[in-house]
Structure 1
Amino acid sequence: MGNVESDDAGLWSRSLRGEGEAFRVLYGRHRDRVFRQAYRLSGDRHDAEDIMATAFLELWRCRAKVRIVEGSVLPWLLVTTTNTARNSGRTAHRYRRLLDSLPRTTTESDIAGQDVYSIAQDVLDQDLARALGTLNAEDVHLVSLIVFEEYTIAAAAAVLNLTPGAAKTRMHRARQRMKKALQGTYPARVSTTPVLEGEQS
């Protein structure tokens, strides 16, 4: 495609003019980070793939409302991914509750066929998803942008229409709530601080 723009603004403008290749480049540029965000929130790879696909569909469907922040569509995508994951999580919770009510037996072959590391990682991911689930939508957006995606507080505040001071206060409270949720899962044995570091001015 020749020279690829270093930021998203040019690619987005070309996408809006109907250039499918420009949108494809945007997708390739951001899909991994959108997937990681979806996976953090859902704790399930298949759900994360569905959430990621929905986020990119929403990017195009709501194209008239998309905001470029610091030359990137990624913050908008991450906020949309969070909203999609929360809606998907409510549906999945009802579905799992139904499945849990049904009789089920676990055979040795079921367990033997699973990789022990994968099982442990899935448990950790689900615990993080549950801790994020204790926050309201706006605080999940803040934690995602600041802690996981390493945006500054000022940039995250701009995305969410908050003042930097309000964003800093909300971020502090959100971190405390997540720490409490994670410490309830891993009492005294595991430090949860590194997971929640990354707050930048």
Structure 2
Amino acid sequence: MSNDVHAGLDSDAELWTRVRAGDMAAFRAVHDRHAPRVYRHCYARIGDHAEAAEAVNQVFLTAWLRRNKITAGPDGLLPWLIVTASNTARNHLRSLRRRDALIDRAAAAADRDGWATYNAAVRDALDRLNAAGRAVVALCLIEGYTYEEAARELGVPVGTVRSRLSRAKERLRGELEKKGLDCREGDV
């Protein structure tokens, strides 16, 4: 095995064995080797340089967090990274659409009632959720985590995340509708 991981002489499998042991230099070598391809893949799906770069960061963070569960196949790590990039880009786009829809609704509410009124209504609705509800809303709706990522972060089963999020969204819709704000399924 080469001592210089950046020379590109080590296979993905050799590097990943070292990554699993916590070797950051090996992880940097994997990143340097595959980040340009992962970036092109994300950019092709997202269409924005900054957002694609953010998606690439998420892919490699996921790789690091899951390093002990990932195995370099016969084609190396690139297939796993590209599948993860596709999922990350899809989730990122979904999060961007939700953010844009929220901004549009906020702008409409600001035109109608003033920004402070809308902002206060959203804060009040979030405050009425229990801690578990606020946590899944923050992770899934605001941060764009998948159910699986949120479950890992919270230390609960995926089904628990799904049910908590469903109840929290229903409660948020109800609270915002009480304030006269239009909330459709899929918006919240």
**TM-score with structure 1 setting the length:** 0.47
Task: Give me the TM-score of the superposition, normalised by structure 2.
Answer: 0.50
Q: Which has the higher contact order (CA 8 A, sep 6+)?
A: 1
